[in-house]
């Protein structure tokens, strides 16, 4: 179990590295787009959609990375006074009711969209460049998959704490 959890963590960490690179690449692409338009006077279409692809990836990969780093914060003014075990019980119940239904459902749906984009040759139509939509659609599916994975790992850890009273 311990091993499985650490595998889940390391997948998210690797996804996080991809996301961090996307963020830096996004800065470069936008700046390059501005440079060729205003300085070199030779505008291109691709930076616009490339920005969308990279920026979308940053948002979606960020979901699981934020879950790993405990950055999805809640209002803990009441729960901070409770014992850690009670907090863990509340979190387990809330995860079952509010985390798993939307997250698993979106993951399932996003895989369908990614599949359709691969098979149907869907294209993005923000500009006349018409790049294929599968890279971003796939990114969405992977991002949600990582969020499901990380959410589950977190859930298992908390459940373990509730049952055994010790961290895993």
Partner 1 sequence: MSALSPQALTLIMLGSLLVLVFSGFPIGYIIGGIALLVGILVWGVDVGQLFYIRMYGYATGYIILALPLFVFMGVMLEHSGITEKMYDTLYLWLGSFRGGLAVVTVLLGTILAACVGVIAASVTMLSLVALPSMLKHGYSKSLATGATVAGGCLGIVIPPSIMLVVYGPMAGVSVGKLFAGAVVPGLIMSSLYITYISIRSHFQPALAPVVPAGELKVSWAKKAKMLVTSTLPVLVLLVSVLGVIFLGIAPPTEAAGVGAFMSIVLVIAYRRFSFKVLGKVGLTTLRVCGYCCLIMAMAGAFTSVFLGVGGKDIVVNFLLSVPGGRWGSFTAIMLILLVLGMFINWLGIVFLMVPIISPLAAQLGFDPLWFGIMVCVNLHMAFMTPPVAGAIFICKGICTPEMGVSMADIIRGVWPFVLLVVTALALCIAFPDLITWLPSKMIG
Give the C-alpha separation, 114 to 132, whole Å: 11
Say whether residue 71 binds partner 1 (CB under 8 A). Answer: yes
Which residues inside 23-42 make contact with partner 1, applying CB under 8 A?
23-24, 26-31, 33-34, 38
Residue 124 CA: distances (Å) to CA of 40, 51, 68, 101, 143: 26, 13, 31, 29, 19
What three-state secondary structure class fits 81?
helix
Tokens of 29: 């692409």
Binding window for partner 1 (CB under 8 A); candidates: 3-11, 97-105, 115-123, 160-168 = 97-105
Q: Does 45 bind partner 1 (CB under 8 A)?
A: no
Q: Which of 10, 8, 46, 13 is nearest to 29 (CA)?
A: 46
Give the binding site for partner 1 (CB under 8 A). 16-17, 19-21, 23-24, 26-31, 33-34, 38, 48, 51-52, 55-56, 58-67, 69, 71-80, 87, 90-91, 94-95, 97-99, 101-103, 105-106, 108-110, 113, 126, 136, 140
């Amino acid at each position: 179990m311990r091993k499985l959890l650490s595998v889940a963590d390391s997948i998210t960490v690797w996804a996080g590295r991809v996301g961090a690179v996307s963020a830096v690449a996004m800065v470069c692409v936008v700046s390059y787009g501005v440079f060729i338009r205003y300085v070199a006077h030779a505008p291109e279409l691709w930076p616009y959609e490339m920005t969308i692809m990279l920026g979308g990836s940053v948002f979606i990969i960020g979901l699981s990375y934020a879950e790993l780093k405990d950055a999805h914060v809640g209002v803990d003014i009441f729960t901070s006074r409770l014992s850690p075990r009670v907090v863990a019980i509340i979190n387990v119940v809330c995860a079952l009711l509010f985390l798993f239904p939307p997250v698993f459902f979106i993951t399932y749906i996003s895989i369908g969209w990614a599949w359709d984009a691969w098979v149907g040759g869907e294209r993005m139509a923000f500009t006349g460049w018409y790049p294929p939509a599968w890279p971003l659609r796939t990114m969405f599916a992977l991002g949600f998959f990582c969020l499901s994975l990380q959410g589950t790992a977190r859930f298992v850890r908390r459940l373990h704490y509730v049952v055994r009273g010790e961290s895993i």
